[in-house]
Chain A
Amino acid sequence: MTLDPRTKMVIVICLSTLALIYNTPERLLQLLIVTVLLLLLFRIDIRSVWVYLKRFLQLMLVVFIIQCFFTRGGEVLLSLGSVELISSQGFLTGASLVLRIIVVISAALILTTFSSRDFILGLVQWKVPYELAFMVTIAMRFLPLFRDEFVNVVTAVQLRGVELKQVSWGKKIELFRCLLFPVVFGALLKAQQLAVAMESRGFRAYPRRTYLRRLDFILVDYAVMLIFVTVTIILIVY
């Protein structure tokens, strides 16, 4: 479906808002089904959702376990003698949190169906200052690069004969503390180089700037936005 990037942003905001407000696994599951249908509608490969979710598996597991063990209420599902370990309320809260994370991450994938350029244009046409919109996209763009840089530094250490798997946790923390310096220094250097590159191309030479392209809403965009915003408000209120 070809929609204006701003319409897609509104859809993501609606889905994420509902995910944050809903508390029950049933409701969140329904929301997840709607999100998956939308992903299919936007021709997003569902397998790519798994690729993104995989990175958050450990976080989801920890959140689920913590909720299971520390939230009380309802029936006792697991106990050790007289000590209650897992309650039905804890299980449901854990499941809700995991589903919430899945919905938010899946919905965010809708943002990958348009370029960062359109993202900036969309925000600017919504009267967001260009500098702010540009900073957001640059941050989104450079974060994976910093991750790659950290991986490169770790690989460089391993190539010098340090077998990380055999290093104790204490030493490992010390090692990562040392590795943090070149990565942070690299990040600062990159930021400085980026500023130089931008200024050498006339960035902020004038208080305003023009754009090669322009985004224009069509009737479908208005209709989709109206439907999503209205339905979201109704679902929140009732």
Chain B
Amino acid sequence: MDAVTVKDLSYQYWSEGPWVLKNINFQVARGEMLVITGLSGCGKSTLCYCLSGIAGHRRDGVMQGQVLVNGKDVQELRAASLALEAGMVFQDPDTQLFSSSVEDEIAFGPENICLPPGDIRARVDNVLDLLGISSLMEANPYHLSGGEKHLVALAAVLALDPPVLILDEVMSRLDKQGVQRVADVLKRLRAAGKTIIAVEHRLETVTFADQLMVLAKGTLARLGPIETILADQEFLAAQHLTD
């Protein structure tokens, strides 16, 4: 069974509005990493919201088609229950962080799923260590830099240990060292069997991914092995994705 299956997905933010996503179809196998790219406004973040169930549950929009995560229809599951299937790191970490310390922020998820205190402690320490942010444990998330906030938001999602990770431009605010650190973490997570779907503009940072999806004006322009698409300079130039 695929980790994520998307069938004929279309989405509009309000019933009279334009279709932001049009008839998208794809599958992501378990333990695979898919990178989504495209120009600004092409629907990358909307697709992430649809995959994580947020679009179907929270927004006033119209969702057509079907999104299955681990075989479960995201529109039929409660948003909180979906968190156990797919964890999403938002493009803007400021909208995701609300606790008074990094430790509390990371512990929030495991506390919600009723883990014993010892297990919560272990998960908090593990993700802090994994992302190399143990020194930030006592810090207030509001006072961190943009890159650090993204790492904390990622840590908070990883603490829930969902089988599918959806990352919306999680490396966009990181410096070179931070990008390398997150890239290493993603490789380790994939090796551990996690399914990763990552939106990214800087494709040179995610060449280790399995698949690349190019979105253009809400439609799927191309999907295939990342090395094949990156080698097709003509296509990338036509999509305005080259420097």
Interface residues of A (CB under 8 A from B): 115-117, 138, 141, 190, 192-206, 208-214
Contact = CB atoms under 8 A, between A and B. Distances in A.
A200 B124 contact: no
A203 to B, nearest CB: 6
B83 A141 contact: no
Given A117-B99, A197-B96, A202 B160 contact: yes
A27 B90 CA distance: 54
A197 B98 contact: yes
Interface string B104-145: 100111111111110011001000000000000000000000
A200 B101 contact: no
B98 A194 contact: yes
Contacts of A204: 80, 112
A124 to B, nearest CB: 11
Contact of A205 (B80, B90, B97, B156): B80
Contacts, number: 94
Interface string B86-104: 0110100001111111011
B176 interface: no
B54 interface: yes
Contacts of B240: none
Interface string B52-82: 1010011000000000000000000011111
Contact of B90 (A138, A141, A197, A210): A197
Contacts of A190: 95
A141 B98 contact: yes
Contact of A202 (B57, B58, B84, B90): B84
